[in-house]
Structure 1
């Protein structure tokens, strides 16, 4: 039986211009592995909690104490037990939330499902635009403030924000080859 590859477009919500990635992942990946794909594709460091929502069902990493209830009404299903191809198909949308403080929401659209190319290695990033915001920047509003301060040498927070993000930070930078290397190393 041939392996199926899901072509996903990952878009970060709440930031303009859009920050997005297009990745090719095996349909047999569990949602836990898909979480790692999103992390490395977007440049996140997996420092915070996350969850998926698919057709109204929440998936994520279970509490180490064994409690899967997020609150009295919402149950979190273990992402290790669920394969991508069992919950999604072409045209499906998945919501992925990372960092419940900054609340980064990602829209994952299954653009296509194709047969794996025997000569290709997966996962792979094939396209995208812009660097993801740095960790702990304060969500979409904090990121907009950071961008304004970094872009304006006269801004009162310019020096502090530039020092915080480092000289190498370029919000327009994106390298699909580098992302593919990270995906193959860590996913």
Structure 2
């Protein structure tokens, strides 16, 4: 272990032109690590719950991996930090559904493109491609995103100044927001272990 990398193509569903990223993560990663890598590559802030869902080959029931909920939940959610990628990802072409923020409902197609040998001198995880900016957090899902773009494109819209003020005052200053802007070079990945400790151990 530790000499290979998993390559994924991530596309945000129901938005055109497409918002997508291509990333590579170490084969030592679990699903929590993949979650953090997707968050960092897409540009999300990891402020909400998430879940991976997929149906294994020749199985009737789907698997859900994320943050386990209450004991009375109808479907078991496996903890991502205890579930290795190697347990379920074996064949290129496997497709996972990744949902972030169950309120806004950002659903992504995550395509497992294959296992590759690490290139000497490269650091992983790594973003090797992508297009268009991630929607701002808490903008109201796909309908809210399109409404946001309409308002920003209309300087005389009655809500234009309020929307600009909201973007500027956000946890992440999104202003000026350019939906077509994305740079691989600006992607910075955080340590998933550190992020887990911050999320679950710090008060």
**Same fold, TM exceeding 0.5?**
yes
**Equivalent residues of 2:68, 2:76 under 8 A apart:** no
TM-score, structure 2 normalization: 0.83
Q: Secondary structure at the match of 2:9?
A: strand
Cα distance in structure 1, aligned partners of 2:157 and 2:164: 11
Residues 42-75 of structure 1: per-residue CA shift (max 9 Å, x gap): 1111110111112210011124xxx45532xx11
**Equivalent residues of 2:130, 2:182 under 8 A apart:** yes
**Equivalent residues of 1:50, 1:97 under 8 A apart:** yes
2:73 aligned with 1:70, yes or no?
yes
TM-score, structure 1 normalization: 0.89
Cα distance in structure 1, aligned partners of 2:111 and 2:71: 26
Segments of 4+ in structure 1 off by > 6 A?
none
Cα distance in structure 1, aligned partners of 2:73 and 2:66: 10
> For 2:138, which of 117, 128, 136 is the aligned residue?
136
Query: Greater shift after overlay, 128-137 or 154-163?
Result: 154-163
Cα distance in structure 2, aligned partners of 1:122 and 1:27: 10
1:40-55 correspondence runs (5 A): 40-55=40-55
2:178 aligned with 1:170, yes or no?
yes
Partner of 1:152 in structure 2? 154
Shift of 1:174: 0.6
1:62-101 correspondence runs (5 A): 62-63=68-69, 67-71=70-74, 74-89=75-90, 90-101=92-103
Cα distance in structure 2, aligned partners of 1:77 and 1:68: 12
Shift of 1:155: 2.0
Unpaired stretches in structure 1, ≥5 consecutive residues: none
**Structure 1 residues 116, 45: closer, same or farther in 2, change over 3 A?**
same
2:67 aligned with 1:61, yes or no?
yes
**Structure 1 residues 157, 82: closer, same or farther in 2, change over 3 A?**
same
Partner of 1:16 in structure 2? 16
> Pairwise CA RMSD of aligned residues?
1.5
